[in-house]
Amino acid sequence: MADEPILSVRDVNKTFGGVKALTEVSFDLMPGDILGVIGPNGSGKTTLVNVITGFVRADNGQVLYKGKNLVGKAPHKIADQGLTRTFQVMRPYFSLPAYKNLIVPLFSPRARRTGGWRGGGRMGSRDTVAVDILEEIGFERESYVPYKTASSLPTGYLKRLELARCLALRPEVIICDEVFSGLSMSEMASMVPLMEKLQMEGITLIMVEHRLRELFRLANRVMVLNFGAKIAEGSPAEVMENKEVKEAYFGS
């Protein structure tokens, strides 16, 4: 692994009215990491994702991506640099076929630059790439699932569609906001190797999760938030042994 972090969050604070959603949060993400972010409800996990990806502006502090500060940059500019995210509450174009959901990201400047779309300008080329990406992420081509309207897809496929929309940009980092939530046991079981595959392909991952069992199989490091502050960071085993984490997170 490289020595330089791909993402470095430095002393970030965010207040909503009187609520301190994030207090002096700092951490490094190394290339190839799967960093788990856990914490009780309201501990600031989603705010952290929103701050990193430009959906919420930090009051102060820095979000350095490959050495450049992202604070104040628009979400689409950040995604254009290869730092992408999924949403916990999924927002596909429900009335469109699954593969058509990838057309917007495939038209983006980054997809053109990075070869996310490799077509030659002919109508239909992007459609083919869209179906290729869906297949990569577990939509069986032969089953016609890529062609079904998003509204008819079970949650497991919608979660994959969220990831596919990120993959269309050929990202370097994906921040996954609760990819396991709402999944059946078998859907979760098939999601784990998929995340491993993304890591193998060189994508660095942050996974905000409630499902600790699956997360701890994947993450090499885990960061714990409580009341907006980082209270622990380390390997899954180290974090689980941490007294403050046990008290804050598990109430014992």
How far apart are alpha carbons 102 and 125 in whole angstroms?
Answer: 12
**How far apart, in whole angstroms, are the C-alpha atoms of residue 218 and residue 176?**
13
Measured from the CB atom, the residue of 47 and 53 that comes closer to ligand ADP is 47
Q: Which among 162, 164, 96, 158 has a CA at the least distance from the CA of 135?
A: 164
Biggest CA pair distance of the chain: 61
Q: Least distance (Å) from ligand ADP to the CB of residue 93? A: 25
Q: How far is the CB of 172 from ligand ADP (least distance, A)?
A: 24
Cα–Cα distance measured from residue 127 to residue 133, given in angstroms and rounded to the nearest whole number: 10
What is d(CA 70, CA 181) in angstroms, rounded to the nearest whole number?
A: 28
Give the end-to-end CA distance of the chain in Å, rounded to a whole number. Answer: 36
The CB-of-43 to ligand ADP minimum distance in angstroms stands at 4
Nearer to ligand ADP, 51 or 106 (CB): 51
**Smallest distance, Å, CB 231 to ligand ADP?**
13
Considering beta carbons, is residue 43 or 101 the nearer one to ligand ADP?
Answer: 43
Q: Of 41 and 252, which has the nearer Cβ to ligand ADP?
A: 41
Site residues for ligand ADP per CB under 6 A:
16, 19, 21, 39, 41-47
